[in-house]
Amino acid sequence: MIRSLSLIGAVVAGALAFALPAQADDCAITVGSNDAMQFDTKEITVPASCKSFTVTLNHNGKLPKASMGHNWVLTTTADMQTVANEGMAAGAAADYLKADDPRIIAHTKMLGGGESDTISFDVSKLSAGTDYTFFCSFPGHWAIMKGTLSVK
């Protein structure tokens, strides 16, 4: 009896081992940023099998938000420039994002050195075949602080 129970346990554990890691690893990503105005990730692929996708942004630098603020903002590539320009106009108090902008699919808060923020968004908001861009909306940063995101 004990032997058969442990066999069942091994089979269940084996099935879980196949089912869980892909979910846990692929439906989330950690993006680092620094005082040199850089993300450490240039390309993100979101598996279409994910229900939601989680992004953790770490600001690994030391400079304050007022001079080296970083956020992670997701829009279509087509909308990015306009959202960035309107974000700059919205000002620092608004984290350089226009409030309730439907073109912003997801965003973290603006971070200073040593800070971190984690957000999740519904993958159903994205479509395969559309080009998405993630960027930092701090004035001037999006020229180099950006990368591509796609669903596959």
Contacting Zn ion within 45-64 (CB under 5 A)? none
Stretch that binds Zn ion, among 1-9, 42-50, 127-135, 139-147 (CB under 5 A): 139-147
> Considering beta carbons, is residue 46 or 59 the nearer one to Zn ion?
59
Dist. CA 152–CA 143, nearest whole Å: 26
Among 72, 141, 149, 151, interactor with Zn ion by CB under 5 A? 141
Q: One-letter amino acid identity for 143?
A: A
Q: One-letter amino acid identity for 93?
A: A
> Hunting for tokens 């598996």 — which residue is that?
47
Dist. CA 84–CA 106, nearest whole Å: 14
Contacting Zn ion within 66-85 (CB under 5 A)? 70
> Considering beta carbons, is residue 74 or 126 the nearer one to Zn ion?
74
Tokens at 77, concatenated: 């590539």
By CB under 5 A, how many residues form the interface with Zn ion?
Answer: 4
Q: How far is CA 148 from the centre of its chain?
A: 11
Minimum CB separation from Zn ion for residue 42, in Å? 15
The binding site for Zn ion (CB under 5 A) comprises: 70, 136, 138, 141
